[in-house]
Structure 1
């Protein structure tokens, strides 16, 4: 795993417009995932089954373009198998499984806001593991995000919040942090779509094996799924999860990052939270409390400040991390 690099990409006007459009599509697609999953979970699906089907469908969709971009360079897959395994098992399967379990115990928007403290976790990892000392601005952003998390959890009012849901949401935070770290590696030689397809393949296989041996519950249902009073066939949200919230979301996100650079793309990705809250209102009739909205604003502000502070990060040790 290599140290994350700082992005200084210069973006032309045409690439900026195209990149922003793709980034918004990606954010909207990702923001829909928890809401579609919630309907399936309420209809009798387990989180493991929903994730396994989502990842499997996305694997099928991405496999052909991934093979084309790989161009027969099979040695790259063998060389980067540990990274793809970590990406698939932790950043994709593990993160999605934790997030879907979280939304089965709490509101979608709250679970996503907790997950979006992941950039702060990445900063801590880089400091402890790679010696990248955060600047004062970065630390200030981390404090803002921490205060926002307290408000999102509504700890000050003594509200009854699911401890199990918070546990799973924090697990999603860890998975998202691994995603950010592994995605930042520029030494693998793997095209981004190949990394995504390879990781999804391994993640899907791991989930199916875990389900077969009984480690991960795999409950499915053919009962209709209801969203805010509207009933649809069970296969429709599954198709949406695989094609829209996984395959489309990853492909457009990768394309946006290539046009905008990782720094600007990460800022635009924060729009996912707004889309998730909008879809939660439309599909699930979920509206967060006012104090939770304030906490969400502080979390997003904290993440933005953390990102701004990366420009001032001082590298005190450049030893590469193992594994």
Structure 2
């Protein structure tokens, strides 16, 4: 009986992890047509984050104790994992293919190892070093260095910026995800993943409001349509997908899946996000990648997974990761590479 329940739980968790990877993977494909229709990338990010924050307000109210207990963690998650990652990622896909941007972002686990080794001066395993080498070598194939970087240099730098923001959140998680004592001396439990996500979205929305200045946005574009590789889709449908599916559903299903599976298994499934995003961009946007780029993408994901598995894990904690899922438990779930997509 217990074995049967355990199997059912793992099957359900795997299904939710796949759903989360698919939902996250579709964010760039839905956002790029809106950007090409005339919306500024920052405005698309603001619409996504602000819309999701409104929906998550009841969750934020339920976990309002986090404002008092974990203010630095909430601020860091909002700044790095929400505002920073998503702004850089959406700006990147306005200049380079969705799949390439996401694969560049998958350098984050390798960059974390660099932080551990050269900044914290802590030893890393041989497997971790192999993962970094694979990730960097695979990325060289993705961006086709032999052709003199066939992609927009600024777009690649923005994608790398998204990876660096992921690293910023990973480092913050390492310091903020532990049990501790509140100002009154009582023990404070690790933060609830959904609570951190809800407040991260709220903080991110506030930051992006100042940066994006949505009052200057051409709101009439949302009543128009956007092109999807020759097809015409209402802009509000794409925006609804980004907010409801690629953000709220993606985060929610991702957090639940990590609790039903181990963080390691969920992290493996999260790697499918880049594959799903690349396939969707190929089918829906006509963004074709060459054979060397596809092979390089596989090598990047392999290296990222090895590096992430070998990185000293922060205490239990929700994203993403991505990478998505970013990309994690509260912090591991948050840092599984899911933050950006």
Verify: 1:29 aligned to 2:14, yes or no: no
- Give the SS at the match of 1:82: helix
Change (3 A) 1:311 1:42: closer
Q: Which segments of 5 or more consecutive residues in structure 2 lack a partner in the other structure? A: 180-188, 314-341
Alpha carbons 2:129, 2:307 under 8 Å: kept:
yes
- Give the SS at the match of 1:133: coil
Cα deviation digits, residues 133-168 of structure 1 (max 9, x gap): 210111011101110111111001335320110110
Of the structure 1 ranges 239-248 and 179-188, higher mean CA displacement relative to structure 2 is found in 179-188
Q: What is the alpha-carbon distance in structure 1 between the residues aligned to residue 48 and residue 125 of structure 2?
A: 39
Q: What is the alpha-carbon distance in structure 2 between the residues aligned to residue 77 and residue 98 of structure 1?
A: 26
Verify: 1:108 aligned to 2:98, yes or no: yes
Q: What is the alpha-carbon distance in structure 1 between the residues aligned to residue 212 and residue 99 of structure 2?
A: 28
Q: What is the alpha-carbon distance in structure 2 between the residues aligned to residue 77 and residue 133 of structure 1?
A: 35
Q: What is the alpha-carbon distance in structure 2 between the residues aligned to residue 119 and residue 112 of structure 1?
A: 13
Equivalent runs, 1:83-162 vs 2, <5 Å: 83-162=73-152
Verify: 1:276 aligned to 2:277, yes or no: yes
Equivalent residue for 1:178? 168
Equivalent residue for 2:57? 63
For this pair of structures, how many residues does the alignment match?
296
Q: What is the alpha-carbon distance in structure 2 between the residues aligned to residue 162 and residue 212 of structure 1?
A: 26
- Give the SS at the match of 2:227: strand
RMSD: 2.2
Equivalent runs, 1:33-52 vs 2, <5 Å: 33-52=27-46
- Calculate the TM-score normalised by the size of structure 2: 0.81
Alpha carbons 2:78, 2:202 under 8 Å: kept:
yes
Verify: 1:19 aligned to 2:13, yes or no: yes
RCO comparison, higher one (Cα < 8 Å, 6+): 1
Quote the offset at 1:263 in angstroms: 1.8
Q: What is the alpha-carbon distance in structure 1 between the residues aligned to residue 246 and residue 160 of structure 2?
A: 21
Q: What is the alpha-carbon distance in structure 1 between the residues aligned to residue 7 and residue 170 of structure 2?
A: 27
- Calculate the TM-score normalised by the size of structure 1: 0.85
- Give the SS at the match of 2:150: coil
Alpha carbons 1:49, 1:219 under 8 Å: kept:
no
Q: Which segments of 5 or more consecutive residues in structure 1 lack a partner in the other structure? A: 1-10, 313-323
Q: What is the alpha-carbon distance in structure 1 between the residues aligned to residue 252 and residue 306 of structure 2?
A: 27
Cα deviation digits, residues 55-99 of structure 1 (max 9, x gap): 01111222213433x2xx53x312311211111111111100100
Equivalent runs, 1:137-286 vs 2, <5 Å: 137-182=127-172, 185-187=177-179, 189-212=190-213, 218=217, 220=219, 221-222=221-222, 223-286=224-287
- Give the SS at the match of 1:243: helix
Quote the offset at 1:173 in angstroms: 0.7
- Give the SS at the match of 2:232: strand
Quote the offset at 1:169 in angstroms: 0.4
Quote the offset at 1:27 in angstroms: 0.6
